[in-house]
Copies of this chain bind each other. A is one copy, B any other.
Amino acid sequence: MPTGVWLLGGRGSVAVTCLTGAAAIRAGLAGPTGCVTELPELRGGRALPAWAELVFGGHDLVTTPLPKRAEALAAAGVVPARLVATLAGELAALDSEIRPVPEAATQRETALRVAGDIAGFRRRHGLERVVVVNLTATEPEVPRQPAHERLDALEAALAGTTPVLPASSLYAYASFLAGCSYVDFTPSAGARLPALAELARQRRLPYAGHDGKTGETLVRSVLAPMFASRHLRVRSWSGVNLLGGGDGANLADPATNAAKAASKQRVLAETLGYRPEGATRIEYVADLGDHKTAWDLITFHGFLDTPMRMEFTWHGCDSALAAPLVIDLARLTAAAHRAGRGGPLAELAFFFKDPVGQAPHSLAEQWSALVCFVRELGDA
């Protein structure tokens, strides 16, 4: 089943790492490290499209050619330079499938052009279905409007010249129009508006998100359950994230930052059953490039309230952590779509900081849910 993966932000670091890696793996030049769907527990899933069946395309405002972007990532230590050199031809070919972002007088018109681009991609490659994955920069939080609540109100508003949806949600709308599933790897609004949920339900289209879990929150999603199951009382949990790269500058902006930091502390509160003291900060440090350093200090009480503490430092390369998960999500969402699943895919919580639907916050429970999900898809 040839399956399309349409990347919004197709020339960004995560997308380019993803495209380079997928090409390398297909060519037998690299192994699938970091790809969850290649683990023995999930590999049995015949329901998932094979690597050879994946076809990539996307939209981006940026026009720098993919090979050039890949070289920049190689210089930054995100992908191996030798791979980029070897795969230059493949990347150049992929480049033609990354389209400029359409613009029009009304958001409805823009959405139709986006949907048209995706439909053309599907036709050209004879794809059974396409998964749209949002990899664009995090948006500031958007005030809710009445038009977000119901599909009919939304459709009316989209026809006007005043924009009513943030870009991520307009893309979700366009994806659903085009009959595609939608995955939001960012913390932006995306498909999370009731009007869009209504549309996805109507058309039986699955969607997943939000905010790929690639560093500090990943670690927190195993440490917090550890403290909880040992009945150790977490008194404070403070974190600082230092990051460079494009998203770093964006996230250090207080408006964007607030949403992200709040969601990080929420994970703790929901896992522990109470909200420990402390905050999470995000700081932009250009020198770190695509690498991120997170430091967390956890103070906790043991028996008879004896005070103790733990700290950890995480030095990760965000693009290299995110890229394989994008492929995993595309494969899993395509399989869910094929199996007739519509609406939010809570079973993909394993991948997200702020998962859609009702999902546990412990990574281990999320993992179990994912394993079951793939098994059921295979049986379906």
Chain A residues engaging chain B, CB cutoff 8 angstroms: 17, 20-21, 24, 30-36, 38-39, 77-81, 83, 218-219, 221-223, 225-226, 228-233, 235-236, 238, 240, 242, 277-279, 281, 283, 285-288, 293, 295, 297, 299, 301-306, 308-317, 320-321, 323-324, 350, 362-365, 367
Contacts and interface: CB of A to CB of B under 8 A. Distances in A.
A269 to B, nearest CB: 16
A223 B229 contact: no
Contact of A231 (B218, B312, B324, B363): B324
18 contacts: A30-B305, A33-B231, A33-B232, A33-B301, A33-B302, A34-B232, A38-B231, A39-B229, A77-B77, A219-B223, A225-B363, A226-B363, A236-B288, A238-B242, A242-B297, A293-B297, A295-B297, A302-B324
Given A283-B279, A364-B362, A304 B235 contact: no
A33 B311 contact: no
Quickly give the copy total for this chain: 4
A20 B305 CA distance: 13
Given A21-B303, A36-B230, A219-B310, 7 more contacts: A21-B304, A30-B304, A35-B303, A222-B223, A222-B226, A309-B315, A312-B313
4 tightest A-B contacts by CB? A364-B364, A306-B320, A34-B303, A312-B312
Contacts of A79: 304, 306
B302 A321 contact: yes
Main secondary structure on chain A at its contact with chain B?
Answer: mixed
